[in-house]
Amino acid sequence: MNTTGIFFHYQDGERLRDFPEALEGILSLDNVFFYDAFYPLKTPSSFDLETIPIDIVGQVHTSDMIERVSKSPSLEGALLSASGTVAAAIRIWNGEIDNAFVFTGYGDHHAGSDFFGGGCYFNGAAIAISELRRCFKARRFAIIDTDAHHGDGTWEIFENDEDVLYTCFCSGSYEEKNKNVNIQVPWSVSDEEYLGLVSEQFLPRIEAFRPEAIFWNWGYDGTDGEYGDIGLTPGSHVLFARELKRAADTLCHGRLIVVLCGGSRRDLARHLIPNVIRVLAG
Ligand SMILES: [Zn+2]
Ligand SMILES: [Zn+2]
């Protein structure tokens, strides 16, 4: 059984309004730890989610870009989102947890070294990788991106990095560069076809690459009825989660960090997020 960390901060907006209440039944599990930033009436503890210092953000993003984000009303949420991913990575390396689910409000894959957009401000996975390299001399990582859209920010950050395997699943066609790979997904796809792409295109690559941890940029915006609808059913995400957890358990001591990306519907969030976390903790 894996020990799972959940990294959470309260945020405005519709989609996560049912949280953390919707995690009922999960938070009481012995192998689940809840790290939160603004829990009402709580006393300080080792389970607080602290904001990372801005100079850590500067390991990935230019000072000019940080300045631009600082002027936006989303700075606090953007920082807490990235902080969750960094904290998850560090606590995994410290041996406190095996895998993690990070509630981001603003992240990740449209944030490049000097640009941002599409609801992304800082690239939490990239900042976490930078911190793991700096603090623990870790080196090789895999990022799988199943958000419906192309992860232009993550692509740009790692296009010259031989030690990060970035596999982006989207409808676009992008030429492979170093360890950046784009897997083209049809505009309309069945769960089975998509799962086939994961097992034929992603799993062999990651088995050969041998990462020390896997980051999963998980968006559910490709679900039927969402803004990036490619026809996936709600149940598809649990199938992906099982596949990726199995890969992490086999290849890298269970080190899997799920970073919430696209998706807008509150009813889907309420249903899908607990199901994905249950796979992590199973
Ligand atoms: Zn998206
Ligand atoms: Zn892509």
Average pLDDT for 247-252: 98
Q: Which residues of 185-194 are buried (b: 16+ CB within 10 A; e: fewer)?
A: beeebebeeb
Residue that has been written with the tokens 């799993």 in this structure: 203
Which distant-in-sequence residues (6+ apart) come within 8 Å of 64 by Cβ?
114
Centroid of ligand 1 to alpha carbon of 58 (angstroms): 25
pLDDT of residue 13: 86
Centroid of ligand 2 to alpha carbon of 140 (angstroms): 21
Percent of the chain topping pLDDT 90: 91
Percent of the chain topping pLDDT 70: 99
Q: Which residues surround ligand 1, an ion (CB under 5 A)?
A: 147-149, 219, 221, 228, 262
pLDDT of residue 39: 63
Centroid of ligand 1 to alpha carbon of 46 (angstroms): 33
* Ligand with the closest atom to the CA of 144: 2
CB contact at 8 A, 226 and 263 = yes
* Ligand with the closest atom to the CA of 219: 1
Average pLDDT for 74-103: 96
Tell me the per-residue pLDDT of 22-49, one tens digit each, with 9 for 90 and over. 999 999 999 999 999 876 666 778 888 9
Beta bridge partners of 108: none
Centroid of ligand 2 to alpha carbon of 182 (angstroms): 5
pTM attached to this predicted model:
0.97
Retrieve residue 192's tokens: 């089975």
In a 3-state reduction of DSSP, which class is residue 220? Answer: coil
pLDDT of residue 40: 60
Q: What are phi and psi of 275, to 5 degrees?
A: -65, -40
Hey, CA dihedral for 78, 83, 84, 86, is it positive or negative? positive
pLDDT of residue 10: 86
CB contact at 8 A, 147 and 104 = no
Average pLDDT over the chain, rounded to an integer: 95
**27-41, 47-61, 110-124: the lowest-pLDDT one:** 27-41
What is the C-alpha to C-alpha distance for residues 261 and 152, in angstroms, rounded to an integer? Answer: 13
Centroid of ligand 1 to alpha carbon of 155 (angstroms): 14
Tell me the per-residue pLDDT of 178-229, one tens digit each, with 9 for 90 and over. 999 999 999 999 999 999 999 999 999 999 999 999 999 999 999 999 999 9
